[in-house]
Amino acid sequence: MSLADALANATASGAPYTHVVLLAGTNDLGRLNILDAGGRTPAAVLADVRALHASAHAANASTVAVTVPQPAFESSHPHVAHGRAAINAGLHAFAALSNDTVLLADADRELPNLTAPESIRRVRWEPDGLHFTPAGYDELASVVHSALTRAGVQACDASRQTLSLATTPGGALLAT
């Protein structure tokens, strides 16, 4: 099911999403700038991420753009560091120019990988150095919650409905 389909279904059921949290582009990092092998440019990744945000905005949901965290393999692939920095700079600019329809959760800054002590990396990151562990996802949830709180969004309103999360095949997290 696409993000647009999930949003339409939620709206049709009478429980539309108010905010959609999007962490996208992480899996594209391994294919950045390898165009002869079907790779992606940072601009193409950012365009796809913006399209996800546009789908949510079309359903009258605000979005939270989560910056792409640093993967462990970045230290041996400088083009990945450059590409990730370009994607994240684009996300910062996108949020800044959004008239508050896009909030920014800076997972890159808040959840470092290579600069974190080994003891934290083992708890936060899967052995692949790209994906979070369950504890890392808990930390990511705190980063997102902080972004929502700074914007004055009440993430869980007991009088309405408990915060629920769903994941789409495109990697989007949906929150009501």
Domain boundaries, the chain: 3-175
Predicted pLDDT of residue 86: 92
| Mean pLDDT (the chain, rounded) | 84
Instruction: Report residue 164's pLDDT band, with 50, 70 and 90 as the boundaries.
Output: very low
- Is residue 166 over pLDDT 50? no
- pTM for the model: 0.83
- Is residue 94 over pLDDT 90? yes
Average pLDDT, integer, range 4-27:
87
Task: State pLDDT tens for residues 65-78.
Answer: 999 999 998 888 88
Give 163 or 92, the one with higher predicted confidence.
Answer: 92
Predicted pLDDT of residue 15: 85
Average pLDDT, integer, range 82-98:
94
Question: Which tokens sit at 19?
Answer: 């905010």
Domain 3-175 class? alpha beta
- Over the chain, what HEC string results? CCHHHHHHHHHHCCCCCCEEEECCCCHHHHHECCHHHCCECHHHHHHHHHHHHHHHHHCCCEEEEECCCCCHHHHHCHHHHHHHHHHHHHHHHHHHCCCCCEEEECHHHHCCCCCCCHHHHHHHECCCCCCECHHHHHHHHHHHHHHHHHCCCCCCECCCECCCEEECCCCEEEEC
Q: How far apart are CA 74 and CA 132, in angstroms?
A: 16
Strands 19-22, 62-66: pairing kind: parallel
Predicted pLDDT of residue 57: 94
